[in-house]
Structure 1
């Protein structure tokens, strides 16, 4: 799994950075799906900033998910084993 991470992530990061550098024109980042022509909440920013922010947020979410999964696994390993349940009688 670690080998796969080292094979896939560096080229992916380079592609994202190249995409961000190649797209420096300003675009309107709109959060209003009902009126795209005149958005109630829209920001005029470089497309590179949007691409890099999305990449950074994805890294944070993935890191948090991995951290929480590792925390759960460590808690399960540290917990004492449960006693055996008695057989059910009908």
Structure 2
């Protein structure tokens, strides 16, 4: 597993650095879908920042989902609820 990490991680970092260097132009990040000309809440940020923050948020939310699923699965295998309560488990 560590070998796979060393094989995959360096090209991913190099790709992210190339993405950051190639997309330095500012774009308007707007949270107002109704007024594109002058949004009520908008920021001028580099495009690479929008992309990298989106990828980071996806990794974070995906990790939290995987953690919650593993916790539920472990609780089910122990026969207890995920919150620590001692309720009976429904059998399939």
Aligned residue in 1 for 2:34: 34
Distance in 2 (alpha carbons) for counterparts of 1:72 and 1:31: 35
Task: Describe the shift of the 1:14–1:69 C-alpha distance in structure 2 as closer, same or farther (beyond 3 A).
Answer: farther
Aligned residue in 1 for 2:21: 21
Task: Describe the shift of the 1:55–1:13 C-alpha distance in structure 2 as closer, same or farther (beyond 3 A).
Answer: farther
Distance in 1 (alpha carbons) for counterparts of 2:33 and 2:16: 26
- The structural deviation recorded for 1:20 is 3.0
Distance in 2 (alpha carbons) for counterparts of 1:56 and 1:66: 15
* Number of equivalent positions: 79
Task: Describe the shift of the 1:14–1:65 C-alpha distance in structure 2 as closer, same or farther (beyond 3 A).
Answer: farther
Of the two structures, which has the highest relative contact order with CA contacts closer than 8 Å and spacing of 6 or more? 1
Aligned residue in 1 for 2:85: none
Distance in 2 (alpha carbons) for counterparts of 1:13 and 1:73: 33
Q: Encode CA deviations 1:23-66: one digit per residue, 9 max, x unaligned.
A: 01111101111110100000011111101100100000110010
2:73 counterpart of 1:68: no
Gaps of 5+ in 1: 85-90
